[in-house]
Structure 1
Amino acid sequence: MMRKVIRRRIGTASGAWLAAALLLLGPAWGAEVVKMGYSGPLSGGAAKYGKNCETGMTMAVEEINAKGGITVAGRKYRLEVSSLDDRYRPDLTVQNARRLVSMDKVTSVFCPHSGGILAMMKFNEKEEFMVMGYSTHPKIVEMGNRLVIRMPPDIRAYASAFSDKAKERGIRKVAAIPGIHEYAKIWMDIFDEEWKKRGGTISDVSPADYSKETDYYTHLTKVIAGNPDAILLIGPSEPAALIVKQARELGFKGKFILGDQAKLDEMQKVVSLDKMEGTIAVTPLYHRPIKDAPAFSAAYKKRFGEGEVSTFESASHYETVYLLAYAMEIAGTVSEVKKIRAALPQALPLEKRGTLAPTGVFGLRDNGAQLRITYGTEVVGGKWTEPFGIKY
């Protein structure tokens, strides 16, 4: 009936407008809808981090729909992302997940923080939805949950590689300003273990709320008093950049070590690279020696603006949406969660399907850990150096 009505109106002013709108919607218009859930920090100090993850999903969904959506068991579907703000609070993640599953009928909920991921893992198998986690927390894939995916590498890979590089650079004493969230606590514990294995010492530790605080002078005064060679920061880019800026204002001349959540190219918008001299951190996405990284970065800027930085988070979420879409096609279902999960390994590698793999994802372990190539870098002479590989 709808098609008949539309045909009769083509040629009128309203019909012309409708035809133009349908053209913009692309070939997936009229198909049934499959929604993917997202619960993350979209407000507060970690909002930029949360939005980076969400935009990666959005970009993938738009591309898939522009190509006609997905075809599952002979039926056409277009994809949508249903996003809810959880302000980095696990209790809100749980509320959001249950709402997304019951109201939007999602079969997967993406979440970029370990507190929310672990909270959902208490009931996701029973309520039959996949948790698509972006967190380096090792526990996520150690609990035997058959419906969880962890995108990034384990914290220990970064903590070990950065400890090696710090020792190589003559750092002996490290102070720390970690966040108060679950991820930061685990990162701190693992770094402490790895650093002490190498003969290093931890002087002062002053946890801060990266999602709320903007004045870090009290924390810095405390840790700088111990004369550390470097300060370890564990939290999102913008707050971490503020800490670096305020540390230099207080006269700190040492180096910085950054947890993987902080990105140099994002921090550069808040504090100049010369102020980050000696920093050890993850390599900006577009500077990694991965074939598809430059193309993805260019496409990301074209979609979201030249001022926007494509991060490892945005790229990982982009890849994982594609993996889920292909898994649905392979499994022949958009609703049977266990079949979709079982089909995920068959969706790899993305390159064979003509899809960009900007982080170099190439495998999926039985425990849900995705396998990717990852890299670290240093800031020397006001610019980041050539990447060094991080094994895991």
Structure 2
Amino acid sequence: MKARILTTTSIAVAAIAPFMQSAYADETVTIGHVAPLTGAIAHLGKDNENGARLAVEEINAKGLVIAGQKVSLRLDAQDDAADPKTATQVAQKLVDDKVVAVVGHLNSGTSIPASRIYSEAGITQISPSSTNPVFTQQGFKTTFRVVATDAQQGPALATYAVKQLKIKSVAIVDDSTAYGQGLANEFEKTVKSLGINVTSRNATNDKAVDFRAILTKIKGENPDAIMYSGEDATGGPFSKQAAQLGLRSKILAGDGVCSDKLPDLAGTGAERVVCSQPGTAPEKMPGGSAFKAKYQKRFGQGMEIYAPFTYDAVYIVVDAMRRANSTDASKILSAMPTTDFQGVTGETTFDPKGDLKHGVISIYSYKGGKKSFIDEVKM
């Protein structure tokens, strides 16, 4: 009887062994993603998340093996609502969730406070869209970004406006966020160095809807251009109201305003906007056209701005895993500084601070309700 029981048990173990092996064959590795998924710029946040999700799905479909172990990626997508306090709470949640790296956050105002939490945990943070120079100037070894900084974007936009648009005077308005103030500061320094008259420096906020008081004041100054530093949710109404008040000034703006949605928000006011965007234009990216087609097929809509950068950021994390031959967060981090990755957006290599070694700024305008690439500035 005893022998029969052993035989039955052996048969049972043998029968389930393949299923046991299958159950333990894959190691699940979690990568975090953070962006505003609610609020006025949720469309930009969802676009970033979509880019990261597309990369995760592709990598899983192709199959990923690290150190002889099959690895399945999981995206832990979180909403920081573009709020600094929420961002730190979300960052701590991702640390507690034991992510191996984080792609995010979207905004400089959320990336900067969250970066300390990732640094203390020793987790790689790659922002696809935070441009304030402070982000990588804090001395953290965990912070990286795959776009040019405002120290490059501000001067590029300013130089283009002076040399190509021939402006002689400009009023500056920022939305009082870390991003808005930082970009406006860099722009202001450059235009002043080029001898341009700054007629006034003004502040609003990222929840504002009525800009008529500021615009009426600026109309009296009659500048050749107004530089608005903020996001499209406010930059659109700002441009629309400027047109309604009959201002003749060109509207200059950075990447936060430079979205495909701007014509919907600004109406015909978008026609006077010239904006900059860190990174190569999608149509000039090595894999830009193919990426746009894949994105459209997967999500049933066109991309906004930074989806190609979140897509590349996920691949850069996986590239670090492969080079480290490990899914351990500390070993991934150790491999990050020596990144040399050729992706959709081009080549990514980092300087000692975690910034791109070679930044590119693209310049756009709007015609007939469509965003159009007009120039590229290499920094």
- TM-score interval, normalised by the smaller of the two chains: 0.7 to 0.9
Structure 1 CA distance, aligned partners of 2:372 and 2:329? 46
> CA 1:256/1:76 → structure 2, altered by over 3 Å: closer, same or farther?
same
SS in 2 for 1:209: coil
Q: What is the aligned-residue identity percentage?
A: 27
Shift of 1:171: 1.1
Cα distance per residue 1:299-347 (max 9 Å; x no partner): 11111113x3242x1111110100101211221221232x212323555
Gaps of 5+ in 2: 1-11
Structure 2 CA distance, aligned partners of 1:129 and 1:347? 16
Contact 1:259/1:281 (CA < 8 Å) preserved in 2? yes
- 1:349 to 2:335 alignment: no
Residue 196 of structure 1, aligned match among 192, 207, 217: 192
Structure 2 CA distance, aligned partners of 1:3 and 1:217? 77
> What amino acid sits opposite 1:129 in the alignment?
I
Structure 2 CA distance, aligned partners of 1:215 and 1:56? 33
Structure 2 CA distance, aligned partners of 1:4 and 1:265? 57
For residues 246-325 of structure 1, the aligned pairs below 5 Å read: 246-272=241-267, 275-277=270-272, 279-282=274-277, 288-306=283-301, 308-311=302-305, 313-325=306-318
Gaps of 5+ in 1: 9-26, 351-356
Residue 325 of structure 2, aligned match among 303, 327, 332: 332
Structure 2 CA distance, aligned partners of 1:42 and 1:139? 24
Cα distance per residue 1:86-127 (max 9 Å; x no partner): 22222211111111111x211223212222222133343332
Q: Which residue of 1 aligns with 2:346?
A: 360
Structure 1 CA distance, aligned partners of 2:354 and 2:23? 31
Structure 1 CA distance, aligned partners of 2:246 and 2:298? 40
CA RMSD in angstroms comes to 3.0
SS in 2 for 1:60: helix
Shift of 1:39: 2.6
SS in 1 for 2:265: coil
> What amino acid sits opposite 2:308 in the alignment?
A
In proportion to residue count, which structure has more strand? 2
Shift of 1:216: 2.7
Q: Which residue of 1 aligns with 2:180?
A: 184
Shift of 1:221: 2.4
Contact 1:178/1:206 (CA < 8 Å) preserved in 2? yes
**How many aligned residue pairs are there?**
362
Larger Rg: 2
Q: Which residue of 2 aligns with 1:75?
A: 69
Q: Which residue of 1 aligns with 2:32?
A: 37
> What amino acid sits opposite 2:190 in the alignment?
E
Structure 2 CA distance, aligned partners of 1:2 and 1:185? 65
Q: Which residue of 2 aligns with 1:130?
A: 124
